[in-house]
């Protein structure tokens, strides 16, 4: 890593027609904690695009983003240390589990790879976020609960959010070959194999290794799939259906019609949304206040060369 960083520094600073600085040279100090060129370059390297060169306009934008991120990080860490606030491993793991709950393991790992983020680095970012939240809660912010009138105004101005489209729940198999699909359908139809078992063995759909069950909103899939899901008979094996995704077999279990939700049914959800928005706005102001109060020194001459 050190050699790679040195090479990157050489390229970076030779482009500016100046000598390569030491990795330990300081670009800033936050509440007494130094931020070095090494810190800057490691974060810069992780954030810059992999396959494209930055333009003359994009380069200083990324430089400023990296610097702001490093300063924010040290403000949070040093303030938390001063106030004797920490995140235990149990708290960190619970926070990580909560974040991961919105992803399958495969999608989560793909998102890390796409962002070129090491999981250890990602865990440290989650820790910083949890520290920020704990600092905020320690400050005991007075956040006023949204009123019924505010919730009603939100409901009236966001009607599209409270319309539930028609949905179908079905068992699903998808394969790449039409003959394979036809043979699978024949076996299911004859009773020689169970639909879910056939899906686990043959289907390339992500639901196959669970219960083969999908929930689809009307109008979100190609018309041939929509027709099978919303016009075909219930609890009946569909014919083999071709789509851009492959060859499908469905067994529609249930359908629910489209409906406009009533305000009273979604009031609690709206209040929670407004309260979270209000809390996020307070947190942003709180963080800005911490940064304004922090002792921050910049090496402007060196920063301008980055």
Model confidence over 213-222: pLDDT tens digits? 999 999 899 9
- The verdict on residue 8 lying in a domain is no
- The verdict on residue 212 lying in a domain is yes
* Cα 110 to Cα 271: distance, rounded to the nearest angstrom: 34
Give the model's pLDDT for residue 13.
46
Q: How many CB atoms lie within 10 A of CB 126?
A: 17
- The verdict on residue 252 lying in a domain is yes
Model confidence over 234-247: pLDDT tens digits? 999 999 999 999 99
**Structure tokens belonging to residue 240:** 């083999």
Contact criterion met (CB below 8 Å) for 200 and 209: yes
End-to-end CA distance of the chain: 19
* 271 contacts: CB under 8 Å, gap ≥ 6: 145, 146, 151
* 285 contacts: CB under 8 Å, gap ≥ 6: none
- The verdict on residue 203 lying in a domain is yes
Residue 240: give its domain's CATH number.
3.10.50.40
Residue segments in the chain with a per-residue pLDDT below the cut of 50: 1-17, 116
Residue with tokens 């606030």: 85
Collapsing DSSP states into helix, strand and coil, what is residue 233? Answer: coil
Contact criterion met (CB below 8 Å) for 37 and 67: no
φ and ψ of 28, to 5 deg: -165, 165
The rounded percent of the chain whose pLDDT value lies above 90 is 63
* 33 contacts: CB under 8 Å, gap ≥ 6: 74, 77, 78
Strands (E), 144-231: 163-164, 167-175, 213-217
- The verdict on residue 266 lying in a domain is no
- The verdict on residue 292 lying in a domain is no
Domain of 181?
166-257
Number of structural domains (the chain) is: 1
Model confidence over 121-179: pLDDT tens digits? 778 888 988 999 999 999 888 899 999 999 999 999 998 889 888 999 999 999 999 99
Give the model's pLDDT for residue 286.
93
Give the model's pLDDT for residue 111.
57
């Amino acid at each position: 890593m050190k050699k790679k960083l040195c090479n990157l520094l050489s390229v970076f600073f030779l482009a500016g027609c100046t000598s390569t600085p030491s990795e330990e040279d300081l670009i800033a100090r936050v509440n007494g904690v130094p931020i070095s060129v090494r810190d800057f370059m490691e974060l810069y390297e992780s954030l810059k695009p992999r396959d494209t060169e930055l333009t003359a306009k994009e380069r200083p934008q990324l430089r400023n983003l990296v610097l702001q991120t490093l300063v924010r990080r040290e403000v949070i860490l040093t303030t938390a240390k001063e106030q004797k606030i920490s995140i235990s491993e149990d708290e960190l793991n619970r926070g990580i589990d909560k974040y991961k709950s919105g992803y399958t393991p495969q999608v989560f790992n793909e998102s890390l790879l796409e962002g070129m983020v090491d999981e250890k680095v990602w865990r440290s970012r989650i820790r910083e976020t949890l520290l920020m939240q704990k600092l905020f809660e320690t400050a005991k912010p007075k956040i006023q609960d949204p009123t019924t009138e505010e919730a009603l105004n939100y409901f009236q101005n966001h009607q599209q959010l409270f319309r539930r489209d028609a949905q179908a729940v079905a068992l699903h198999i998808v394969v790449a070959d039409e003959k394979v699909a036809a043979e699978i359908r024949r076996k299911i139809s004859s009773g020689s194999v169970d639909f879910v078992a056939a899906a686990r063995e043959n289907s390339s759909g992500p639901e196959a290794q669970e219960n083969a069950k999908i929930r689809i909103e009307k109008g979100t899939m190609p018309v041939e799939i929509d027709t099978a899901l919303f016009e075909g008979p219930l609890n009946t094996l569909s014919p083999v259906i071709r789509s851009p995704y492959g060859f499908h077999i469905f067994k529609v279990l249930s359908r629910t019609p489209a409906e406009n939700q009533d305000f009273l049914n979604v009031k609690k959800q709206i209040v929670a949304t407004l309260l979270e928005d209000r809390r996020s706005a307070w947190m942003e102001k709180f963080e800005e206040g911490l940064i304004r109060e922090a002792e921050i020194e910049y090496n402007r001459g060196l920063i301008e060369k980055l």
